[in-house]
Structure 1
Amino acid sequence: MTQLVWDYRDEYERERQDILDAVDAVFRSGRLILGPSVQSFETDFASFHGLPYCTGVGNGTDALMLALRALGVGPGDEVITVANTAAPTVVAIDAIGAVPVFADIDPATYLIDVEHAAAVITPRTRALLPVHLYGQCADMAALERLAAEHGLVILEDCAQAHGARRGGRMAGTWGRAAAFSFYPTKVLGAYGDGGAVVTPDEEVHANVRRLRYYGMEDRYYVTSTPGYNSRLDEVQAEILRRKLTRLDDYIAGRRAVAARYAEGLADTDLALPVTEPGNDHVYYVYVVRSSRRAEIMESLLARGIQLNISYPWPVHTMTGFAHLGYRPGSLPVTERVATEIFSLPMYPSLAAGDQEKVIDALREALAAP
């Protein structure tokens, strides 16, 4: 079977010497926790976004959770987000005792429907948490207006959108804070777990830094509770610092793959990704849509090509979130889309020849009666 999925070993072979140099530099530094590599990466990642502050944390879920707490969101507060995201977005809200409230999505882009978000605001709503899904930005100008009208804070989930822009403005620079994941598959991925919170706000920054380190400002002295242990590892930070200089190349590679799909599948009835006007898509995943999903995926599997679904179950339908009280049909667009979407292989090093095999197999499956 041909599993055309990203494998870190391909990237490792190309970048092996730099990665080994990064590991060696950390081990020779004498600092393994919150040392110069974390500090340098935080400075570089903040600068990349044109922001003054970045805090490296253990993973993307922690980044969301700590950012929410740093923004003053707490038990009983409602946070509006989407259900067609990876579960960690909602897990983070639930973990601090806040209440996830779901808005439906745009049927073309699968991004948050701002009008529906406005409709579910209540007196308990404290924050908007848009997800820049699959690699492109939500309508942040409209969400900014909505937040200002209702006195809400915005936390951006940028786990899938490193380097994406809307109207020339980078993902992560619209809200009062933004959370990133550096899980290995991400557009900017580590060689293990990692996350970060960026913000223009000095108070939010100080709060996140305390929260990630037990609530301490000085060693051994806790100034606020609850605190957590969520620190970006020195080795991962040094690897990320070096990979950040190649982020534009990774994005260019993904866009080249997306362009080949768009050309090769343009005359089929497969619904291809729609990029909103003004968006610069980075194609974390390449999500297509068809009412014949099951038979298409089975046809490709028979030809040795295994595809993925991102994501098959909307979060509000999961038994782990039954306590939120959502019923089938409550988010009709989200639920319908989840039955039709699937992801094609997408990573910068995907060879054109391998991609052609996927395109040919898709065209054959789509042409079948």
Structure 2
Amino acid sequence: MLRAAGVGIGDEVVVPAFGNVEVTEAVVQVGALPVFADIDPLTYCLDVTAVEAVVTPRTAGVVAVHRFGRSAEIARLHALGRRHGLLVLEQAESEAPYDETAQRRERAAYLDAKLRGVRTPDGGAGHTYQQYVVRVPGNGRPDRDAFARAIRSRGVDCRVPVKTPVHRLPEYRRCVSLPETERAAEETLALPVDAALTRREMQRIVSACNALGGLLQPAL
């Protein structure tokens, strides 16, 4: 899409650094320069204000990536694109069947109501919960990685959704300030909400997480 739109050498394209190195690679492949903008801490998608802050006369476009089943602010990004004459592209997530999405939402609602000691996701309109991503603040009692090890030992199949932001990878290292991106990479953990999960398995997730809840309070 970038090549078809005429984006190439000398152009800049604004992209998120939180996940999806493939987006950055696509920009490089057409000869353009990827420019990283910070994310909104609730949606994990590009923050529109942060995008506008990095726009220059060389900016040709923006690639918005929908994240974890939550949509980017496409209407605002298109408005920004019109103001600056920018191409706005989207990378969408694969859509699950309606019944599967409904079941994931049901499981997400259960976790929202039961979990303690972690910050549950901001639902928002239309959230499909491709991944159920919580925050485990790194205050030393324990941090996200220690928390993940502990609940895995209790049989919960969790995963770190983004281990290293793209702007910290050796081939794309940039000296830029992306505090929300880096905080999200340090704190986020995806818990299972698969449609196939049984009630007993959902209870195990809650029990494992809540058993550590007391350890997650800020140190005095």
Provide TM-score, normalisation by structure 1. Answer: 0.55
Residue 79 of structure 1 is matched in structure 2 by 13
Structure 2 gaps of 5+ residues are: 138-142
Which one-letter code corresponds to 1:288 in the other structure? V
Does 2:174 match 1:320?
A: no
Question: How far apart, CA to CA, are the structure 1 residues paired with 2:195 and 2:21?
Answer: 25
State how 1:1-369 maps to structure 2 within 5 Å: 67-159=1-93, 162=95, 187=96, 247-265=97-115, 268-276=116-124, 279-291=125-137, 292-322=143-173, 326-327=174-175, 330-368=177-215
Which one-letter code corresponds to 2:49 in the other structure? E
Question: How far apart, CA to CA, are the structure 2 residues paired with 1:152 and 1:248?
Answer: 34
CA contact (8 A) 2:157 2:191 kept: no
CA contact (8 A) 2:43 2:72 kept: no
Question: How far apart, CA to CA, are the structure 2 residues paired with 1:73 and 1:275?
Answer: 35
Question: How far apart, CA to CA, are the structure 2 residues paired with 1:301 and 1:286?
Answer: 16
Secondary structure at the aligned position of 1:134 is classed as coil
CA-to-aligned-CA distance 1:144-170 (integer Å, 9 cap, x gap) = 11000011111101025x3xxxxxxxx
- Superposition deviation, residue 142 in structure 1: 1.2
Which one-letter code corresponds to 2:108 in the other structure? A
The structure with the larger Rg is 1
Structure 1 gaps of 5+ residues are: 1-66, 163-186, 188-246
Question: How far apart, CA to CA, are the structure 2 residues paired with 1:353 and 1:68?
Answer: 47
Which one-letter code corresponds to 1:70 in the other structure? A
Question: How far apart, CA to CA, are the structure 1 residues paired with 2:152 and 2:117?
Answer: 20
Provide TM-score, normalisation by structure 2. Answer: 0.89
- Superposition deviation, residue 257 in structure 1: 1.6
Question: How far apart, CA to CA, are the structure 2 residues paired with 1:351 and 1:101?
Answer: 43
Question: How far apart, CA to CA, are the structure 2 residues paired with 1:105 and 1:346?
Answer: 24
**CA-atom RMSD in angstroms:** 1.6
CA contact (8 A) 2:157 2:192 kept: no
CA contact (8 A) 2:14 2:36 kept: yes
- Superposition deviation, residue 119 in structure 1: 0.7
CA contact (8 A) 2:131 2:193 kept: yes
Question: How far apart, CA to CA, are the structure 2 residues paired with 1:305 and 1:275?
Answer: 22
- Deviation beyond 3 Å, 4+ runs, structure 1: none
Which one-letter code corresponds to 2:151 in the other structure? L
Which one-letter code corresponds to 1:104 in the other structure? D
Question: How far apart, CA to CA, are the structure 2 residues paired with 1:85 and 1:91?
Answer: 12
Question: How far apart, CA to CA, are the structure 2 residues paired with 1:99 and 1:347?
Answer: 38
How many residues align? The count is 211
Percent identical residues:
36
Question: How far apart, CA to CA, are the structure 2 residues paired with 1:352 and 1:71?
Answer: 49
Secondary structure at the aligned position of 1:320 is classed as helix
